[in-house]
Amino acid sequence: MSSHPVRHILLAIDSLIGRGAEKVVVNLGEALIALGHRVSIVIYEDIVEFAVDPRITVHRLHPAERHRIRLLSRLTDNDNVRRFRALLSRIEADKGHVDLILSALPRIDRILSRIRDPRIHHVIHNALSMQNGIRNNSWRKKLARIWHAKRMYDGRQVIGVSAGVGQDLVDFVKVRPAALRTIYNPFDFEVVRVRAVEPFTPPVQDYILHIGAFTLKQKRQDLLIEAYAASGLTCPLVLLGKGRDEARIRQLAQQHGVAERVIFAGFQANPYPWIRHARLLALSSAYEGFGNVLVEALVLGTPVVATDCPAGPGEILASMPQMLVPSGDATAFAARLAACYATPPVIDVASLARFEAPVVANEYLKLIP
């Protein structure tokens, strides 16, 4: 029996909608439960699209709606701070003292950043200067967005899901945190492998796979289509996902003369069999906080070709640089796709151990005094 004390960790996030940061929170909660600790989750918006371990209680904040007038919105923020404090008291009365509070995503961060409590750490899941348009915007918008981020994170305890996320926050968003740490996203390798062997018949063979929301600003499917067309490859390109830019991406496939070889397979609740059967996985993003799908592909033995974009891919693939291409370079991307398709690069399996869920969960537990 473990001699380590049982800890109670509270994970606060905007919602549990089916996206990356939300999945990370669920994975972390389950990893902490597996280590014998207690976990509570607080969500700002009442959306739950994940199957959450029944041992984890999900609490709804039921926030007051923000007013459009800035002065009144600050009064609303004060009301929501009171609501969070009251909810925290009820959680502790029911489940015991909370040892650590991890806040993720802007709406819940806006509330918790107004609370002075050494247990609170803000987890940043993306390169905010890219996500918020700070790097490439007019100076007025840039200053406004920098000011907003600094109001939330200056003097706070901050965790980046990659070192690049933290560096971006300091260098481009100009935030000066009280403490800045890097803790990678957690993955249950066994769950990924088990789900990957669920019954599945691939629609085509030897395909290149791309997974991501159809948002050209971040995922850059335009770069991917251009590189695929220039690569000379005749294998199919399969796109998993959905989003507002799907029509434009289909149009780009037509323009580049590859529409007959590009398969739009839609959103897949279980993408792992698709990953396992792919010859390569391609990630063409302009920015990523981490790049979860890269780790998942490598765990399943599928090599990747990824843009070395801010902030995570370069760290994930640090020991496998042959899988990286300069961000935004369609010519380099095309050449690397062709080369890696012909001769799949070797995966450094040992380098993936740092992303296993128990390893990551223990990094978070070290934050507790």
Confidence of residue 3 (pLDDT cuts 50, 70, 90): low
The answer to whether residues 221 and 245 touch, using CB atoms and an 8 Å cutoff, is: yes
What tokens were used for 172? 């481009």
- How far apart CA 162 and CA 305 sit, in angstroms, is 19
Q: How far apart are CA 226 and CA 331, in angstroms?
A: 9
List 16's β-bridge partners, or say none: 48
Q: Quick one: pLDDT band at residue 64, thresholds 50, 70, 90?
A: confident
Q: What's the rounded Cα separation, in Å, for the pair 45 and 91? A: 18
Q: Is 72 exposed, middle or buried (0-12, 13-18, 19+ CB in 10 A)?
A: exposed
Q: What is the location of CATH 3.40.50.2000 in the chain?
A: 8-187+355-365, 189-353
Other CB atoms within 10 Å distance of the CB of residue 238: 22
Tell me: pLDDT of 137 over 80: no
| Residues written for the chain | 369
Q: Quote the CA–CA distance of 283 and 296 in Å, as a whole number.
A: 12
Number of other residues whose CB lies within 10 A of the CB of residue 189 = 16
Third-level CATH fold of 189-353: Rossmann fold (3.40.50)
Q: What is the pLDDT of residue 71?
A: 59
Residue in 368, 295, 285 with CA at minimum distance from that of residue 333: 285
123-146 CB burial, b ≥16 within 10 A, e <16:
bbbbbbbbbbebeeeeeeebeebb
- Of the chain, the end-to-end C-alpha distance in Å amounts to 22
Q: Are 125 and 289 in contact (CB under 8 A)?
A: yes
Choice between 19 and 102, residue whose per-residue pLDDT is larger: 102
Q: Whose structure tokens read 């740092």?
A: 354
Query: What is the C-alpha to C-alpha distance for residues 34 and 26, in angstroms, rounded to an integer?
Result: 12
Torsion of CA 115, 54, 267, 42, to 10 degrees: -10
Write out pLDDT tens, residues 139-151: 777 888 899 899 9
**What does the pLDDT read at residue 69?**
59
pLDDT, tens digit (0-9, with 9 covering 90-100), for 231-282: 999 999 999 999 999 999 999 999 999 999 999 999 898 999 999 999 999 9
Residue 1 has pLDDT above 50, yes or no: no
Instruction: Name the pTM for this structure.
Output: 0.91
Is residue 309 within 8 Å of residue 283, measured between CB atoms?
A: no
In this prediction, residue 135 carries a pLDDT of 80
Contact criterion met (CB below 8 Å) for 119 and 98: yes
Mean pLDDT of the chain: 94
CA gyration radius, the chain:
21
CA–CA dist 313, 341 (Å, integer): 19
Cβ neighbours for 287, distance < 8 A, ≥ 6 positions apart: 126, 127, 130, 131, 218, 309, 310, 311
Token readout for 262 is 């590009």
pLDDT tens profile 295-339: 999 999 999 999 999 889 999 999 999 999 999 999 999 999 999
- Which CATH fold topology does 8-187+355-365 show? Rossmann fold (3.40.50)
